[in-house]
């Protein structure tokens, strides 16, 4: 009887160990999936950062050109005003 009880306890412990190993496998799969998602997000963030940098460069180039045209417009406007005032005299 004592040997049978001991064997039953060992069997119960083995059953629990088997269940825990199964849970470990599922946890490992979830961890792998989380790492895959994280890697995908990192790739997407890298792409977004690259696009942001390129857009920043384009905006800076465009704003420099726009400032030049604005200044040129003011110069032409001031020249027309000066010419008009000279003509009215």
DSSP H helix total and E strand total for the chain: 1, 0
Q: What is the tens place of the pLDDT at every residue in 33-53?
A: 999 999 999 999 999 999 999
Q: In 3-state terms, what secondary structure has residue 89? A: coil
User: Mean pLDDT over residues 10-33, rounded?
Assistant: 94
Q: What 3-state class would DSSP assign to 1? A: coil
For 25, the 3-state DSSP assignment is helix
User: pTM for this one?
Assistant: 0.53
Residue 81's SS3 state is helix
């Amino acid at each position: 009887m004592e040997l049978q009880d001991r064997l039953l306890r060992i069997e119960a412990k083995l059953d629990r160990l088997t269940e825990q190993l199964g849970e470990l496998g599922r946890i490992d799969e979830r961890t792998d999936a989380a790492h895959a998602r994280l890697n995908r997000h990192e790739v997407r963030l890298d792409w977004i950062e690259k696009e942001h940098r390129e857009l920043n460069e384009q905006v800076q180039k465009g704003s420099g050109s726009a400032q030049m045209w604005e200044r040129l417009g003011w110069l032409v406007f001031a020249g027309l005003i000066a010419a008009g005032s000279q003509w009215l005299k």
